């Protein structure tokens, strides 16, 4: 569903006319070579753009980028000195994210050969500083990547930023379908949808659950049959749910719901959705398997009306596209306090994405302890182990905050034969005591986007592009410094709202 190859990033080189046409030709040739090499390594196509040498050319390029739908942003490079007043009008008009690649065409100094021509051609060292000054002077968010362009770490840092830029592009004009409203009385899943649209670019469309029920009723039996075949093929299905089993009708109902949801979301071009167990009028049960499978296919999801987490999970799905491990909606559910190490058991009532499953999921049916509806069908599995992140997006009133915790997913100490949901067990970094205190002091939500391949660095770049705060809880977190950073950020983000150009 998500293919980053539809996107491109523009490679933009700054220079000036002072050096004469011969040098500019060399700058262009070098830039083409760098752009082509990066195009091989980054997750999107890198498009070379003519070298910029005047304020008008910079301004035109920025306007062109703004209106190019496939362009997720700019990689900027100052091959030579490029006087930065010529960048002011363009950068102020630019609506797309940009990264400053502080590189140099030549890697090592040719000690025996170096002369002033070489120095003038390869002067990113101070050209990049002039460009950096004007970006900081204008308070522009950007990532700065330093190193030789053939270096694997440099390419990796650029790739991370490109993925964040793709997720940002995906959010612009994106639609989140919200079936029913918020779970009654819950605070953190609420927020200002007008502020979110202005800040983030996505729009939340509310629907009565009856609109979804109508779409589900239209699903032909043949489509239900097809989906049942897929279920039987893809999962270990318990006997009660198999054809002829006592609860097979529940599986057929879930297949009908999945088809109806899929059709509704596709027809409206939605990228994410929410539901709530408190508003299921006309539905026989809370969608479980359907939500799990739609997430697997790239949709963002948030339970209990949580549209912010639904949008965040979608953004993480885009950042994750083509990478090995999965992304899921998640919730910190219960703790394991133990001398052998404190841990968190993450799960939800049903809706954990199968993309994080370790092995083939089991398809089972159990009652839901709340909501008073029929028993929902759900996939049950243990999550893959390894390093991962939990990320939450909160509306703090005047602004949004992204909060990220690095965690280590570990095997469960013992099997969980009676737990009827998919789950992940993890040790938060630096330890549960510090991480949970920091998370709670930061007002962190109980719902999160959970991922292995999307890292804190992707999320940091994404927050930078979005112009919002990101607080990170990791192996270096000290609670005292974390509290101070949160207070300083409160001040900074209040001031930054009134940017002085």
Instruction: Catalog residues that contact Mn ion under the rule CB under 5 A.
Output: 303, 331
Give min distance, CB of 29 to Mn ion, in A: 56
Q: Which is nearer to Mn ion, 278 or 331 (CB)?
A: 331
Cα 211 to Cα 179, 260, 281: the distances in Å are: 8, 10, 11
Q: For the beta carbon of residue 147, count every other beta carbon within 10 angstroms.
A: 17
Give min distance, CB of 17 to Mn ion, in A: 60
* Token output for 434: 């510090």
Contact criterion met (CB below 8 Å) for 230 and 250: no
Peptide bond into 145 cis (omega under 30): no
Q: Which is nearer to Mn ion, 99 or 392 (CB)?
A: 392
SS3 (DSSP) at 213 = helix
What's the rounded Cα separation, in Å, for the pair 66 and 63? 5
Q: Which is nearer to Mn ion, 315 or 330 (CB)?
A: 330
Give min distance, CB of 302 to Mn ion, in A: 9
Give min distance, CB of 447 to Mn ion, in A: 6
Q: Which is nearer to Mn ion, 306 or 354 (CB)?
A: 306
Q: Measured at CB, which residue is nearest to Mn ion? A: 303
Contact criterion met (CB below 8 Å) for 306 and 274: yes
Q: Which is nearer to Mn ion, 351 or 364 (CB)?
A: 351
Question: How far is C-alpha 450 from the chain's CA centre?
Answer: 10
Calculate helix-pair angle for 248-267, 289-296, nearest 10 degrees: 40
Q: Which is nearer to Mn ion, 272 or 303 (CB)?
A: 303
Give min distance, CB of 304 to Mn ion, in A: 5
Q: Which is nearer to Mn ion, 104 or 182 (CB)?
A: 182
Give min distance, CB of 375 to Mn ion, in A: 19
| Structural element, H or E, at residue 405 | strand 400-410
- Residue 487 backbone zone (phi > 0: left; psi -120 to 50: alpha; other: beta): alpha
Give min distance, CB of 306 to Mn ion, in A: 7
Half-sphere exposure (Cβ direction) of 189: Cα atoms closer than 13 Å: 22
Report which DSSP code applies to 70: T
Q: Which is nearer to Mn ion, 245 or 371 (CB)?
A: 371
* Partners of 327 in beta bridges: 451
Tokens 């993925």, residue located: 163
Give min distance, CB of 369 to Mn ion, in A: 13
Buried residues in 180-196 as b, exposed as e (16+ CB within 10 A): bbbbeebebbbbebeeb
What's the rounded Cα separation, in Å, for the pair 198 and 99? 23
């Amino acid at each position: 569903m998500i293919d980053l190859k539809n996107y491109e990033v523009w490679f933009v080189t700054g220079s000036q006319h002072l050096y004469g046409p011969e040098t500019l030709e060399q700058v262009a040739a070098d830039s083409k070579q760098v752009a082509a090499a990066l195009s091989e390594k980054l997750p999107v196509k890198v498009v070379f753009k003519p070298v910029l040498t005047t304020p008008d050319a910079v301004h035109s390029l920025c306007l062109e980028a703004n209106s190019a739908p496939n362009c997720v942003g700019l990689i900027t490079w100052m091959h030579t000195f490029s006087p930065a007043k010529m960048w002011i009008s363009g950068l102020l008009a630019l609506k797309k994210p940009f990264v400053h690649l502080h590189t140099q065409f030549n890697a090592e100094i040719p000690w025996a050969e170096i002369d002033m021509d070489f120095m003038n051609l390869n002067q990113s060292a101070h050209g990049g500083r002039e460009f950096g000054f004007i970006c900081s002077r204008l308070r522009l968010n950007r990532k700065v990547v330093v190193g030789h362009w053939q270096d694997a770490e440099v390419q990796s840092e650029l790739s991370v930023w490109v993925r964040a830029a793709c997720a940002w592009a995906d959010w612009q004009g994106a639609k989140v379908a919200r079936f029913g409203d918020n779970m009654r009385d819950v605070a953190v899943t609420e927020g200002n949808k007008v502020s979110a649209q202005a800040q983030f670019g996505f729009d939340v469309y509310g629907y009565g659950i009856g609109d979804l029920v109508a779409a589900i009723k239209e699903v032909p039996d043949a489509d239900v049959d097809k989906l049942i075949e897929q279920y039987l093929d893809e999962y270990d299905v318990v006997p009660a749910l198999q054809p002829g089993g006592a609860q097979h009708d529940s599986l057929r109902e879930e297949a009908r719901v999945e088809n109806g949801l899929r059709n509704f979301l596709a027809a409206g071009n939605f990228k994410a959705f929410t539901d709530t167990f408190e508003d299921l009028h006309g539905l026989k049960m809370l969608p479980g398997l359907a939500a799990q499978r739609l997430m697997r296919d790239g949709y963002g999801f948030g339970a209990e009306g949580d549209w912010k987490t639904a949008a965040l999970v979608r953004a993480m799905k885009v950042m994750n596209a083509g990478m090995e491990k999965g992304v899921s909606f998640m919730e910190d559910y219960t703790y394991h306090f133990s001398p052998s190490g404190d841990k968190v058991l993450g799960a939800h009532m049903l809706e954990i994405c199968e993309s994080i499953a370790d092995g083939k999921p089991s398809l089972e049916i159990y009652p839901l302890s709340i909501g008073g509806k029929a028993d929902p069908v759900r996939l049950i599995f243990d999550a893959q182990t390894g390093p991962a992140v939990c990320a939450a997006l909160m509306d703090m009133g005047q602004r949004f905050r992204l909060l990220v915790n690095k965690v280590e997913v570990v095997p469960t100490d013992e099997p969980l034969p009676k737990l009827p949901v998919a789950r992940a067990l993890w040790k938060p970094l630096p330890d549960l005591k510090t991480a949970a205190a920091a998370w709670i002091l930061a007002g962190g939500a109980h719902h999160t986007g959970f991922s292995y391949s999307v890292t804190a660095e992707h999320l940091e770049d994404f927050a930078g592009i979005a112009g919002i705060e990101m607080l990170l809880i990791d192996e270096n977190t000290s609670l005292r410094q974390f509290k101070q950073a949160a207070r300083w950020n409160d001040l900074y983000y209040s001031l930054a709202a009134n940017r002085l150009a």
